[in-house]
Every structure is written in C-alpha cells, then in structure tokens.
Amino acid sequence: MPAWSAVDIGATGVLGVAIESATAPGTYIAPTKFFPIQSETLDFSLENIKRRSIRAVNDIIGVVAGRTHVKGDITFELTEDVLPYFLYASRMSVVKSGTTNFLYTATPTHGAIPTRTLSFTVVRNGLAFSYVGCVVSQLDFEATDNGVVTVKAAIIGMDEASQSVPTASYSATATPFGPGAFTIQLPTATTVYDMDKFTFSVNDAATPEWRLQAARTPVYIRYGERTVSYKTERDFTTRTEYDSYFKGVTAQAGLSVVISKGANNSVTFSIPSPLPSSYDLAQLNAQGTLLRSSVEYDGVYNASSAYSYQIVVKTQEAVTLP
C-alpha cells in the first residue's frame, strides 16, 4: 500500500518573495514577504538535445543536457502591500517616498536589462522550491464581474534549487480591492460610470539569453518591445468616442483608474495617451440584449509626461532593497 500520509493538496502551499541584490542577480535570498495566491505555474524548463545521429539505429541514441531557465505565472488578488515587489523587478523605475505611509511611483524605462531580480520560494507538499534571478515579463490587472481585482504576473527566471522550508507569516490587515473602490476617468478628470470590467496589461517581452559558458543557465534576461493595453466593456450610449477617437485615430486626453481603500491605501493606473485600437459594438441579436461596446486602448508614448503609462501605489509596506 502507498504511504497515504505523504499526499497533500494545494491548500497547504506557500509562496514567498524577496528582492535580490543588484550586484548578485540570481543569488537566492530567503522570503521577506509572504502573500496568498490564487495559483502559480513556476517551472524549471529544461531544453535537452535528443541525439538522432545516423549510426544504423533509428532511435534516440542519447541525450545532451540542454539549456535551462525558469518560467511561469503567479496569480493573486491585488493588494497594495504586495504589488511594489513585482514593480521593482519590472522594466520600471520605482521611486519610494514617505515614512509611515509610503508612496511608490513606478514609471516605465526603455533599457534591455532589468535593474532588480526576485527570489521566489514555493512550498509544495512540504518541499521548498527556490526560483532565482526572476523578472516580471508581463503584468495583467483584471477587474471581473464581481469587482475584485486580480494580478497575473508572467515570470522569467534563471535557475531553481531546493532550499530550507521557510516559516511563513502573513499580513493581518491586507485585504483585496473590491466593489466600491473604483474611480475611472476618461479623459483624465472626467469620471465615467459605464465600465464594469477591465484588463490593464503591460508586456515587456522578457527573454532569457544564453551564451557559451561553464553553465547551462541564462547569463541574463533581457526585455524586448513593450506593449501597453487597456481593455474594457462599456454601455453604448453615444457615438462620440466611436467617431472622434476610434474612427478618427485620435488618442483621448488621458485614462486614469484609481482603486482605493482610503487616502493612504490605493493603486492608480494611468495612461496619458490612450488610443482606441478596437471598438466592437453590440449587435442586434435579441430583444433583451443590452447594447454595449468592447473597447481596447493602446498605451501610446506621451512626449509631455515622457511615458506611456504609470503605476502609483500608496501603502504602509516598507520595501527594503538589499
């Protein structure tokens, strides 16, 4: 009979994160922040080379150990105490200010190499897996029908190893944003009330880079072209945006989404030049169909602000960089 006591479920899992030293990316640091997650798919990717040389055998004749890296997604409820850790490992410049109440202002940068990397520790069935040299390739912020905002972070990393199982501790006060927390402005300073869900995405297309060296792990992870988008569904009540901005190929004068639980606990996404790239109108297909529109905006670089988007976090979380 199998040892049933050795079988476990996802409820006992743990995930923690730490920011790595700027001078030693890929060197493991034990978690400094634990947080609840909805799911994770972090994985050690192994690209073995299967040998099929001709030698009177029609089979794989051997395997050469190939290149390795880490990839996967982490999905969690948006809270203001967790988000700054992911911003530091994104293609952003993060400016921290304040003492008790902190303000993190994240502005996109344009270089190829991230300034910070992360160590993730995942405990599965009582066993610890450490993923090091990790950067954020893409962030998707999604508000669904129930009004709770979730974040999916696409991760690219360098290596994985076993570590000691950490003792996890969680914030007793951090709660996700939900209904009643939203102020959406389009254009900026004009509040709109006709959106019921959105997905705000920043994709910096991170890619592991290998070189000939005495290791199979990447020498670094670099960023590619950036794509910024905001997708939403709106009640269709006027042709103004459809005609003037979508058909007219003209950017709106700013888009701002403020998600707040109070004066010092909020997350704000802003796109200074949102250009409608698609505008799908509801068709007349049933008597009871509500007439709505699905709109996607591109975040276009704005010369006046010198960025295509910005994320601002207000929190009591004091992130310390090693």
Asked if residue 144 has pLDDT above 90, the reply is no
Q: Return the pLDDT at 59.
A: 95
Q: What is the pLDDT of residues 161-208, one digit of tens each?
A: 989 999 999 988 889 998 999 999 999 889 999 998 999 999 999 999
Q: Identify the helix (H) or strand (E) that includes residue 87.
A: helix 83-88
Place of tokens 């640091």: 29
Backbone angles phi, psi at 54, to 5 degrees: -85, 120
Q: What sign does the CA torsion over 167, 6, 41, 38 have?
A: negative
* Residue 34 tokens, joined: 């634990």
* Share above pLDDT 70 across residues of the chain, in percent, rounded to a whole number: 98
Q: What is the pLDDT of residues 211-253, one digit of tens each?
A: 999 999 999 999 999 999 999 999 998 899 989 989 899 889 9
Q: What angle do CA 257, 261, 264 make, to 5 degrees?
A: 90
Q: Return the pLDDT at 1.
A: 56
Asked if residue 15 has pLDDT above 90, the reply is yes
Backbone angles phi, psi at 84, to 5 degrees: -55, -30
Q: Return the pLDDT at 178.
A: 87
Asked if residue 113 has pLDDT above 60, the reply is yes
* Average pLDDT score over residue span 266-288: 93
Q: Return the pLDDT at 9.
A: 87
Query: What pTM was estimated for this model as a whole?
Result: 0.94
Q: What is the pLDDT of residues 33-83, one digit of tens each?
A: 999 999 999 999 999 999 999 999 999 999 999 999 999 999 999 999 999
Q: Is the peptide bond before 322 cis (omega within 30 degrees of 0)?
A: no
Q: Identify the helix (H) or strand (E) that includes residue 156.
A: strand 149-157
